Amino acid sequence: MYGIAIENHEALTVMPPGFAREVLRVHARCPISVCARKRQAVAVVNAAARKAGSSA
């Protein structure tokens, strides 16, 4: 579907920020509207960036 490799695109129970960056690399070509794992990774990376910015 959408030329995406056969991978698991479901969201995970827990996703650490470091793993979220790897997910974004692996799922770079996935549309965020279709890939729940990429959508979750974007949210985790954004939350980590907000947290880092507020503690500076």
pLDDT recorded at residue 6: 58
Residuewise pLDDT in 10s, the chain (56 residues) = 444 455 789 999 999 999 999 999 999 999 999 999 999 999 999 999 998 887 65
pLDDT recorded at residue 25: 93
Global pTM reads 0.81
> How far, in Å, CA of 7 to CA of 56, rounded?
37
Torsion on CA atoms 4, 5, 10, 11, rounded to nearest 10: -90
User: Tokens 């279709």 label which residue?
Assistant: 34
pLDDT recorded at residue 1: 41
